[in-house]
Amino acid sequence: QVLLVESGGGLEQAGDPLRLSCAASGRTIDDYAMAWFRQAPGKEREFVAGISHKSSTYFADSMRGRFTISRDNAKRTVYLQIVSLRPEDTAVYYCAARNKFVTMKPDDYIYWGQGTQVTVSS
């Protein structure tokens, strides 16, 4: 089992930068693909970004160029960075893990964090 805990969310201003962190415990994450999803009120959970166990990165089309994802296996931590927030980025952001390879399907992921709320005001 792997416990995932997200942090870094809160009330933010449009145009601000943001970095979310996902800290893992229970075992190393070296063999896992890690991903970020988000879910806005009344909407389905959507894929944001993923990073494979070999550090290949993947982004949803609408996220590409605005988000970056990185991992530090020694710290057992995965990061999601946004250069400039938009109001439409408001959502609960979830960290998730599965074996080796990134997919965009929430049902493919075995481990999930509890989520961190990001609210962006203009």
Q: What is the mean pLDDT of residues 81-89?
A: 96
- Please count the residues of the chain: 122
Binned at pLDDT 50, 70 and 90, residue 107 comes out as very high
Average pLDDT taken over every residue of the chain: 97
- Spell 89-116 as b/e; 16+ CB within 10 A means b: bbbbbbbbbbeeebeeebeebebebebb
Q: What is the pLDDT of residue 7?
A: 98
Residue 74 to residue 118: CA distance in whole angstroms: 27
DSSP state at residue 61: T
Stretch 82-93: mean pLDDT, rounded?
Answer: 97
**How confident is the model over 56-74, as pLDDT tens digits?**
999 999 988 999 999 999 9
- CA distances 16 to 37, 39, 77, Å, are 20, 20, 22
pLDDT of residue 1 exceeding 90, the answer is no
